[in-house]
Amino acid sequence: MNQESGQDQDPRQEPGEAVEDNASQPLEGQVERLQAELEQMRAQSLLERADLENQRKRMVREIESARRFANERLLADMLPVFDSIEAGLASASEDDPLRAGLEATLRQLQKVTAANGLVEIAPAPGDAFNPDHHQAMSVSEAEGIAPGAVVQVFQKGYVLNERLLRPAMVVVAPS
């Protein structure tokens, strides 16, 4: 027995080398198992944190989308009002006393709806046909208009925060 440590010295062991206790092997196994569990818990925690962060970002996007398009139905229902006022202006004579009132009303409506993200699509004759924003109602020859370009606008279109509410209905020059 080694008098300094109180343990038996193994004759195969080099001097100064610690004697490995058989009782420590189960503890080492437990330590390794617990370390593996800890790593697994850390990985699971990271995954759960990432899931929560993704869910938070998704909720922020959904709330932003809901905010941007909350007025979509109301603004879509306003489009016939724009059409009616513009039709009234088109048929009113320049000296009609109601014309100024209609123009002022239309300007106010346009200002309020623009503040809420509504943008008018009114291509001019000769503008390129855009199938994302225009709906071709017919094809017609027109002098000075390039093939495939807008000849005439039947009805203006509208976009709400980059989302098409109604395409502009147009006549297109043949290609």
Per-chain mean pLDDT for the chain: 87
User: Is residue 160 within 8 Å of 132, Cβ to Cβ?
Assistant: no
Task: Residue 144: give its domain's CATH number.
Answer: 2.30.22.10
Residue 31 is part of which domain span? Answer: 25-68
d(CA 150, CA 169): 10
pLDDT given for residue 4 in this prediction:
47
Determine, yes or no, domain membership for 127. yes
At 50, the pLDDT band (50, 70, 90 cuts) reads very high
The CA–CA distances, whole Å, from 78 to 88, 105, 139, 165 equal 16, 13, 29, 11
- Which H/E stretch holds residue 169? strand 168-172
Residue spans of alpha helices (H) in the chain: 24-68, 72-91, 97-115
pLDDT at 6: 46
Same-domain status, 107 and 76: yes
* Domain termination residue (choose one: 34, 51, 68): 68
* 127 and 165 share one domain: yes
7 belongs to a structural domain:
no
Q: Which of 68, 98, 122 is the last residue of a domain?
A: 68
Q: pLDDT tens, 82-117?
A: 999 999 999 989 988 889 999 999 999 999 999 999
Q: Classify residue 165: in a domain, yes or no.
A: yes
Closest CA to 103 of 89, 93, 91: 89
Cβ(136)–Cβ(172) under 8 Å?
Answer: yes
Asked if 156 and 122 touch (Cβ cutoff 8 Å), the reply is yes
Output the pLDDT for position 13: 53
How many domains does the structure of the chain reveal? 2
